[in-house]
Structure 1
Amino acid sequence: MKARILALGRLKAGQRNKTETSYEALLTARQYAGEVAWFRFEGLKLRLADNTFYTPDFAVMLAGGQIECHEVKGHWLDDARAKIKIAAEMYPFRFLAVRPKAKREGGGWDVEVFE
């Protein structure tokens, strides 16, 4: 019996998956609460090297004017973790990786900060 192979395809640029859509709802709530001044899905494209770029899922401006880059992941692949670490070393932004917590863990989001 052959093993089933599943594609790890990415949606077209500008389209959100379910996890990103859920996180966007959180950012919208934070915006209404006055914590977030502005955010944009795939709003930045950062050059890491020749022909190597990193596009964070969300560019976020906090109410105080600080810019953050938020990466939303269900699970990490090594290349994605490497890119966010490299970007954090190169750019003066705060980088956050967020992952949804399971309902049995109380829900919400786990946050990992890269600075």
Structure 2
Amino acid sequence: MTAARRMQALGRLPVGQMNKTEEAYRQHLEARKFAGEIAWYRFEGIKLRLADKTFYTPDFAVMLADGSMELHEVKGAPGIFTDDAKVKVKVCAQDYPFPVIVAFPIAKKRGGGWEFVRY
């Protein structure tokens, strides 16, 4: 196991518990819900099979106000988006009828908010 992997493993939270970035994104979703853009969302609410013994659980399942569904993945920075995670997101977007949105926080000194990549 590489040093980077050991550090990632140490930082893992129990299933169902949000890290600080995910909590900030939940607040973003809540504001969008209050504005009427989102009808519903749930943290780690969907688990999708990609292949035998391979699953993908997006950070958030999101239903927009028009009833369409999106899957949202939250990463602390583009460099944290590992190759394994990218493959799972791309396979999910290809095999399922849901767009996958990857969200990265923008530093407050750069104006704050979120940067999105759509798959």
The secondary structure found in structure 2 opposite 1:7 is: helix
- TM-score between the two structures when normalised by the length of structure 2: 0.89
- TM-score between the two structures when normalised by the length of structure 1: 0.92
The answer on 1:96 being equivalent to 2:101 is yes
Is the helix fraction higher in 1 or 2? 2
CA drift of 1:104 comes to 2.2
The secondary structure found in structure 2 opposite 1:65 is: coil
Q: Deviations over 1:10-43 (max 9, x none)?
A: 2111000000000000101111111000000001
* Partner amino acid, structure 2, of 1:94: P
Structure with max Cα Rg: 1
Where in structure 1 are there 5+ consecutive unaligned residues?
none
What is the aligned residue count? Answer: 112
What's 2:43 paired with?
Answer: 41
Identity %: 57
The answer on 1:7 being equivalent to 2:7 is yes
* Partner amino acid, structure 1, of 2:73: E
